Amino acid sequence: MANRYVSIWFRHLITDRWVIRHAAQKDTAFVMACPERGRMVIKAASAEAEKQGIVTDMVLADARAVLPELQVFEHRADLAEKLLNGLAEWALRYSPVVATDVAGSGLILDITGCAHLWGSERAYLKDITNRLRGSGYNVRAAAADTIGTAWAICRYGRITPVIEPQTQKLALAALPPAALRLDDAILERMSKLGFYQIESFIDMPRSVLRRRFGQALLSRMDQALGAMQENIVPIVPIEPYQERLPCLEPIRTAPAIEIALRTLLEALCSRLAGEGRGIRKAVFKGFRMDGAQQAIEIGTSSASCHLEHLFKLFQLKIASLRPDLGFELFILEAPVTEELDAVQKTLWSVSGSGDMTEIAELLDRLTGRGGMDIVHRYLPEQHYWPERSIKAAASLIEQPSCAWRTDRPRPVSLLAAPELIQVAAPVPDYPPMLFRYKGTVHQIKKADGPERIEQEWWIQEGLHRDYYCVEDQDGARFWIFRAGHYGEHNPDWFIHGFFS
C-alpha cells in the first residue's frame, strides 16, 4: 500500500485562538506583538488586519501608521507550539501518526489505510476541516503521496486538495518555488533568474541546479516527488496519570530503585485517590545514562490505590531491570484506571456481601508471579450458541447481564472452537458407539441427549447441532454433537467440552 499524507495549515493559528477565547475581537483588526531588538514587532495578525496591509514581522510603529486604530495584544513565544501540540492530540482520532509543523503553522498526518473509514479521502478531509472550522480555526488541508506535495498544495494550490497517486510532478508544476519549503536566500536567487514556477526548473539537469542553488533544492524536490523518504516525528501524548522522578546521581542498586518506586507510587496513589480512581494497569520506566529504557508492568484485578499491594506487585519484577551505568530518570504511568468502589461487594454473583479486596489482591499476586493468563473470570451472555454464551469479565466487580443457565447440563471446560472427531457406528438420533479424539479411542458406555441447539440466524447462518453428554469406559465425560441431519452424506461429529 502506497503511503498517503495530509498537511493541515492553520492560516491564523494564534489570532484564531484569541478570537475563540475573546469573541468580541471577531472581525476586528488586531495583532500579537512582542519586543525584539528594542522595538515592537508583529508576530501574528488577524485576517481583518491582513486585509488592511498588516503582515507578520512588520514593525508595530509602521503598522500603526497604516492603521491607527489597530489593537495590539501581547505575544507569547511558546503559544504556537502548545496550540499545535494540543491540536495534534485531537487529530489522533483521524490517524495514529500525527506530527506538528511549528515552522509551517500546521500538522502532518500519515493517513495510510485511514481514509477508507470515512468513505474517501475527500470525505476524510471534509470532516477534518469542517470540525476545525466549526471550532473557529481558518484551515486548509491537502492529501498526497508525499509530505512535500501535500504541504505545497495546502498552502499554494488552487486545484483539488486531493492529489491522485503518482501525480506529484503535475500538481507542483504551476506552484511558486516557495511551495518547496526553500530558504529565503535560495528563493531570492531564483526570483532574480526568473524562476517563478516550479515547472521552470523541475526538468533542468541536477548538476546545474546543484551548482546554482546547492543540495538543499534537490533534496526538497526529491522529497516532494517521492524520490527521497521524508520522516516525521509523531507526537506521543503524555499519560494523564504520570509521575516523574529525576535522579541527582545514577541509580544502580535494587534498594535505591525500590525507594524511587515507592516515592512515585505514593504521589500517584494520592492523586488517584483524591479523584476517586484506582489503578488497573501501571508501568514503571527507568531511563539509563546510555539512553536505553527499561520498563516493568503490572495489572490488577480491580481498581486499586493500595500502596503496599501495588508496591509488592512491582517488587516481584524489579529484579528484571538492568541498570548498567545507572538510571537518571524514573517515570510511573497509569494508562488504565477505573473508578474506585467504596466496598468491593461480591466476587461472584452470589448472596451475601463483604470486602473482597483481599481476594482481589491475592489474585493480583498470583498473576504477578505466573502471568496474566493464569486467572480468568467468565460471565454469562444471553445467547443460545455455546461459544457466544459466555464472555471474559473485565474485572472482579463486573456484574452479569443475565443468570447462568442451570436447566441443562453444561461442561465445566468448553473448547474455544469445536474439534472434529471420528466416530463409529453412528445411528440417527443416537450417539455413536465410540469416537476417536487426539489419537485415543473412547468407547461410549452411557449417553444422554440429544439436545438440539439451533444456529442464531440473526447473527450467522449454519447447521443446527444435536448435543449429547457421553461417558466412556474410564468414566470420563464429554460433550459432543452432530452438525446437521443425516442425509445423502453422513454429518460430521465434534467434541465441544469436558465435564468434571
**Across 331-358, average pLDDT:** 61
Are residues 172 and 202 in contact, defined by beta-carbon separation less than 8 angstroms?
yes
- The confidence band for 407, taking pLDDT boundaries of 50, 70 and 90, is confident
pTM: 0.60
Q: Where are the domains of the chain?
A: 1-237, 242-367, 413-498
- The confidence band for 164, taking pLDDT boundaries of 50, 70 and 90, is very high
Q: Is the pLDDT of residue 309 over 90?
A: no
Q: Is the pLDDT of residue 347 over 50?
A: no
> What would the 3-class secondary structure string for the chain be?
CCCCEEEEEECCHHHHHHHHHCHHHCCCCEEEEEEECCEEEEEEECHHHHHCCCCCCCEHHHHHHHCCCCEEEECCCCHHHHHHHHHHHHHHHCCCCEEEECCCCEEEEECCCCHHHHCCHHHHHHHHHHHHHHHCCCEEEEEECCHHHHHHHHHHCCCCCECCCCCHHHHHCCCCHHHHCCCHHHHHHHHHHCCCCHHHCCCCCHHHHHHHHCHHHHHHHHHHHCCCCCCCCCCCCCCCCEEEEEEEEEECCHHHHHHHHHHHHHHHHHHHHHCCEEEEEEEEEEEECCCCEEEEEEEEEEEECCHHHHHHHHHCCHHHCCCCCCEEEEEEEEEEEEECCCCCCCCCCCCCCCCCHHHHHHHHHHHHHHCHHHCCCEEECCCCCHHHCEEECCCCCCCCCCCCCCCCCCCCEEEEEEEEEEEECCECCECCCEEEECCEEEEEEEEEEEEEECCCCCCCCCCCEEEEEEEECCCCEEEEEEECCCCCCCCCEEEEEECC
> What would the 3-class secondary structure string for 332-371 be?
EEEEEEEECCCCCCCCCCCCCCCCCHHHHHHHHHHHHHHC
Higher pLDDT, 384 or 1: 384
Q: C-alpha angle 337/338/341, rounded to 5°?
A: 140
| 81-85, 234-238, 303-307, 374-378: which is most confident | 81-85
242-367, superfamily in CATH? DNA polymerase, Y-family, little finger domain (3.30.1490.100)
Higher pLDDT, 373 or 468: 468
The model's pLDDT over 356-400, given as tens digits with 9 standing for 90+, comes to: 566 666 666 666 666 666 677 778 888 888 888 887 776 666 677
What pLDDT is recorded for position 355?
A: 52
Query: For the sheet containing 106-110, what is the strand order?
Result: 98-101, 106-110, 5-10, 139-144
Are residues 385 and 453 in contact, defined by beta-carbon separation less than 8 angstroms?
yes
Architecture of domain 1-237: 2-Layer Sandwich (3.30)
- The confidence band for 351, taking pLDDT boundaries of 50, 70 and 90, is very low
**Across 436-462, average pLDDT:** 88
